[in-house]
Amino acid sequence: MKDYSEFYKQVGQSIRSRRGKNLSQEALASAVGLTRTSISNIESGRQKMLLHTFVDIADALKADPANLLPTRPAPAGAVGAEKLARLPENERAFIESAIGIKPQEKENNGRQEKKDSGVGPEAGDGSGNNRGARARLGNREGKGSAHRP
């Protein structure tokens, strides 16, 4: 289970700083239907609150609830992406694999187009006989083969 204590401390600090010196804990508590002790505990991060209570506190502070939430760090993939893009392909691939970033798929969903007409089932073997690649590999039995036991 994830520990959210730092999150609640940051929310509480935002509430405290937004409340400032012009609004007492007692006045805020009265406005949202809590006790002064609850407001003190919320501001110190010791007490969790229900979502509707959080919105009520934001309304009492004349603040957008989103502005009372802590900012989230940027995802790992976004940090330094422009620097990573400038690296040579082999270095970029090494770093991406080391930190777990999957390389973006290239055109055609990651498949390379085949320019060599000598590859593939419709390709000839160079002798004018268009037997295809399967004939050159030997008639291997397998899925789709006509020769099943």
Q: Return the CA Rg of the chain.
A: 32
Q: Tell me, yes or no, whether 146 lies in a domain.
A: no
**Does the residue 119 lie in any domain?**
no
How far is residue 11's CA from residue 71's CA, in Å, rounded to a whole number?
10
Does the pLDDT at position 102 exceed 90? Answer: no
**62 pLDDT higher than 70:** yes
Tally of structural domains, the chain: 2
134 pLDDT above the threshold of 70: no
The range of the structural domain enclosing residue 42 comes to 5-68
Could you say which of 68, 92, 108 is where a domain stops?
A: 68
pLDDT at position 135 is 46
Q: pLDDT averaged over the chain?
A: 76
The two structure tokens encoding residue 20: 């400032």
Q: Is residue 80 part of a domain?
A: yes
**For residue 139, is it within any domain?**
no
User: Are both 9 and 57 inside the same structural domain?
Assistant: yes
What contacts 18, CB < 8 A, 6 or more positions away? 61, 63, 67, 68
How do residues 68-88 score in pLDDT, each as one tens digit? 999 876 665 555 677 777 888
Q: 143 lies in a domain?
A: no
| pTM of model > 0.85 | no
pLDDT above 90 covers a percentage of the chain that reads 43
In a domain, 144, yes or no: no
